[in-house]
Amino acid sequence: MLKDITLGQYFPGDSVVHRLDARTKLVLVIVYIVALFQAQSWLGFGLVTLVTAGCVAASRIPPKTMFKGVKPMLFIIVLTAMLNIFYTSGTPVLPGWIITWEGISRACQMVLRIVLLISGTFLLTYTTSPIALTDGLEMLLNPLRRLHVPVHEMTMMMSMALRFIPTLIEETDKIMSAQKARGADFETGGLVQRAKALLPILVPLFVSAFRRADELAVAMESRCYHGGEGRTRMKQLRMGRADHIALFLGAAFLAAMIALKRLGL
């Protein structure tokens, strides 16, 4: 079922990670990514893995769900591993072999890096509702308004797009079911035939997407929406003590990673 797609889906919960301010989490994810790319040795990777595992545990998201998110990237992960194993020079595993110890080690580190990157960013979308996320983003990007960047409009569009992903998935599901009930076949046939089979889904989907966009625009206008100027919020984002502690820990983590890299460990 299409509904089972977990890519970037929010899992409601009440853990420490869920309660952190969206801005904190956004900053921490950037810190995390920078720190991750400082890791060069096994010691560094070990530290990042430990921190990631700690965060996942604190978020109470089941590890199974985290791995489900990694699954769609499996192809890229395997490809990266293969390339690194075969194209790294060094001491061969066996005399005359193309595979080297260095290659294996590089491949493992690359795979670990990708998996950690995905897990870290997914932790953000798993624990933060899309609305909080775009609100956080809007406030973080607010300084850009001085440069006449339409920050509010951009984040509004983003939150609308996010808001309508599940709706459109549901709609697609419904249309697919209806066409299947009329004997449409999406699973067999060659590439051209399958592409053609999508037409009975795409046409109704576009028609309804445009209709929905129209209705949404009317609904927003009739509630006096006129852009970001002077707009207030029902849910105010507030930084608390937990946020300050989290930011401090993030900074310490980044410093440790940079120090490890400088020391060549």
Partner 1 sequence: MAEIKAEGLTYVYSAGTPFEKTAIEDVSLTIGQGELVAVIGHTGSGKSTFIQHLNALLTPSAGRVLLDGEDINRDKYSRRDVKRRVGLVFQYPEYQLFEETVYRDIAFGPRNMKLPEGEIDERVREAARFVGVDEGLFEHSPLELSGGQKRRIAIAGVIAMRPEVLILDEPTAGLDPAGCAQLQENICRYREETGSTVLLVSHNMDDVARLAGRVVVFDHGRVVMDGSPAEVFSHAGRLLEIGLNVPRASELALALRKKGVPVPEDVFTHERLLASLLALREGRPC
**Residue closest to 51 by CA, chosen among 126, 115, 116, 108:** 116
Q: Among residues 204 and 228, whose Cβ is nearest to partner 1?
A: 204
Cα(225)–Cα(232) distance, rounded to whole angstroms?
A: 12
Minimum distance from residue 79 beta carbon to partner 1 (Å)? 29
Candidate residues 13, 63, 143, 189; the one interacting with partner 1 per rule CB under 8 A: 13
Cα(226)–Cα(232) distance, rounded to whole angstroms?
A: 12
Cα of first residue to Cα of last residue in the chain, in angstroms, is 47
Task: Concatenate the DSSP letters of all residues of 142-194 into one string.
Answer: GGGGGGT--HHHHHHHHHHHHHHHHHHHHHHHHHHHHHHHTT--SSSS-HHHH
Candidate residues 50, 57, 203, 245; the one interacting with partner 1 per rule CB under 8 A: 203
Q: Is 175 a residue that touches partner 1 (CB under 8 A)?
A: yes
Contact string (CB under 8 A) for partner 1, positions 55-94, x = contact: ----------x-----------------------------
Q: Is 178 a residue that touches partner 1 (CB under 8 A)?
A: yes
Q: Is 172 a residue that touches partner 1 (CB under 8 A)?
A: no
Q: Among residues 13 and 54, whose Cβ is nearest to partner 1?
A: 13
Candidate residues 183, 190, 230, 264; the one interacting with partner 1 per rule CB under 8 A: 183
Q: Among residues 109 and 172, whose Cβ is nearest to partner 1?
A: 172
Candidate residues 57, 82, 144, 207; the one interacting with partner 1 per rule CB under 8 A: 207
Contact positions with partner 1 (CB under 8 A) in 26-55: none
Q: Is 220 a residue that touches partner 1 (CB under 8 A)?
A: no
Cα(200)–Cα(220) distance, rounded to whole angstroms?
A: 31
Q: How many binding residues for partner 1 (CB under 8 A)? A: 25
**Residue closest to 47 by CA, chosen among 259, 256, 264:** 256
Q: Is 264 a residue that touches partner 1 (CB under 8 A)?
A: no
- State the angle between helix axes of 22-36 and 241-262 in degrees (0 to 180), rounded to the nearest 10: 10
Cα(156)–Cα(133) distance, rounded to whole angstroms?
A: 11
Other C-beta atoms closer than 10 Å to the C-beta of 151 total 19
- Residue numbers at the binding site for partner 1 (CB under 8 A): 3-4, 6, 11-13, 65, 174-175, 177-185, 199-200, 202-204, 207-208
